Homo-oligomer: A and B are copies of this chain.
Amino acid sequence: MRLAVIAGDGIGPEVVTEGLKVLREVAPDVEPTHYDLGAMRWQRTGELLPDTVLDELRGHDAILLGAIGDPSVPPGILERGLLLRLRFELDHHVNLRPAKLFDGVTGPLLDPGPIDMLCVREGTEGPYVGNGGVLRKDTPQEIATEVSLNTAFGVERVVRYAFERAVARPRKHLTLIHKTNVLTHAGGLWSRVVEEVSAEFPEVTVAYQHVDAASMFFITDPARYDVIVTDNLFGDIVTDIAAAVTGGIGLAASGNLDASGTNPSMFEPVHGSAPDIAGQGIADPTATVLSVGLLLEHLGRTEQARKVNAAVAFDLSTRAPQGPVRTTDVGDRLAALASG
């Protein structure tokens, strides 16, 4: 397995080290190549993602990413120039974010019920395309626009992926989240595509909710959800809510998939670089390890993925509740459990 590793900034290198530790335990054939990308490289060289590096990345089976971001870099530079550029160049149209309340985890909710949802967030369209601009900048007459672009092609492929995942799950339920009553153009496209593709999946029941209502139900009744499909920006928000109610971003994994298999998919914890705790060895690497689980699953290494996920589930069920975390301890425990 040729794995490109982008450890990145802040706690990125710390959690990636543990992720690789666990990965090596179940997949001894892994051949990691490390790429130095992120805030430090940009500060040093002005480079974000050189084309030659992008080409090299394409030659791998998958990418593992830690975290990108540093307060010394103005907002948008690393996100647009590196993280989002990777997602767009590698056509990561499926941003996959499971949210499960593991046994032993006390989330923030009084009565969460059994949460086990799979959010399928679109990854290459919507308000993330970088389309828009500024007129009369820095004057009292400034106008700034952001354009959300949505195509039938782009919506259809992610909706189809979501249906495929839904039909393979016990509950076979899919919820579209959008804001069709206000964003009538994009909302109309999403609704129509969901309706059309649903005809091919008669076993899947389909629900629709506005993003504001869904943001509420994620808190008051998250157990009602099975698979969710939504646009890039709504997905960014609701998957963080889903992470919050299942114990926080310390546990939230994600995969950026090119579901066609043309480009390598990229796996990353949902959390950021957390500069405030970087270098202290107290970041929870569990989200990275769960991202490694998604990576193995994506590569068809089902049994290896099962081992990783089972290790995490067991570890969480026996961890001291809300206790402090030592990054390497968690990695050591998970590696031992996964190998066993």
Could you say which residues of chain B place their CB within 8 Å of the CB of A109? 108-110
Instruction: Say if the beta carbon of A281 comes within 8 Å of chain B.
Output: no
Could you say which residues of chain B place their CB within 8 Å of the CB of A240? 212-213, 215-216
Instruction: Say if the beta carbon of A53 comes within 8 Å of chain B.
Output: no
Could you say which residues of chain B place their CB within 8 Å of the CB of A238? 215
* A136, A143, A213 — most chain B CB neighbours (10 Å): A143
Instruction: List which A106-139 residues lie within 8 A (CB) of chain B.
Output: 106, 108-111, 127-128, 130, 132-134, 136, 138-139
* A79, A140, A185 — most chain B CB neighbours (10 Å): A185
Q: In the complex, are the beta carbons of A181 and B75 less than 8 A apart?
A: yes
A148 in complex: contacting residue of B138, B145, B215, B245, CB < 8 Å: B145
Could you say which residues of chain B place their CB within 8 Å of the CB of A111? 108
Instruction: Say if the beta carbon of A173 comes within 8 Å of chain B.
Output: no
With A79-B182, A153-B140 known to touch, is A215 a contact of B188 (CB < 8 Å)?
no
Could you say which residues of chain B place their CB within 8 Å of the CB of A149? 143, 145
A193 closest partner in B (C-beta): B142
Instruction: Say if the beta carbon of A59 comes within 8 Å of chain B.
Output: no
Q: In the complex, are the beta carbons of A75 and B187 less than 8 A apart?
A: yes
A239 to B237, CA, bound (A): 13
Instruction: Say if the beta carbon of A220 comes within 8 Å of chain B.
Output: yes
A220 to B243, CA, bound (A): 11
Instruction: Say if the beta carbon of A33 comes within 8 Å of chain B.
Output: no
Instruction: Say if the beta carbon of A151 comes within 8 Å of chain B.
Output: yes
Instruction: Say if the beta carbon of A219 comes within 8 Å of chain B.
Output: yes
Q: In the complex, are the beta carbons of A132 and B148 less than 8 A apart?
A: yes
A140 to B130, CA, bound (A): 23
A134 in complex: contacting residue of B130, B189, B191, B211, CB < 8 Å: B189
A132 to B187, CA, bound (A): 12
A248 to B216, CA, bound (A): 8
Q: In the complex, are the beta carbons of A128 and B182 less than 8 A apart?
A: yes
A interface residues with partner B (beta carbon < 8 Å): 75-76, 79-80, 84, 106, 108-111, 127-128, 130, 132-134, 136, 138-153, 156, 179-189, 191-192, 211-213, 215-216, 219-220, 233, 236-241, 243-245, 248-249
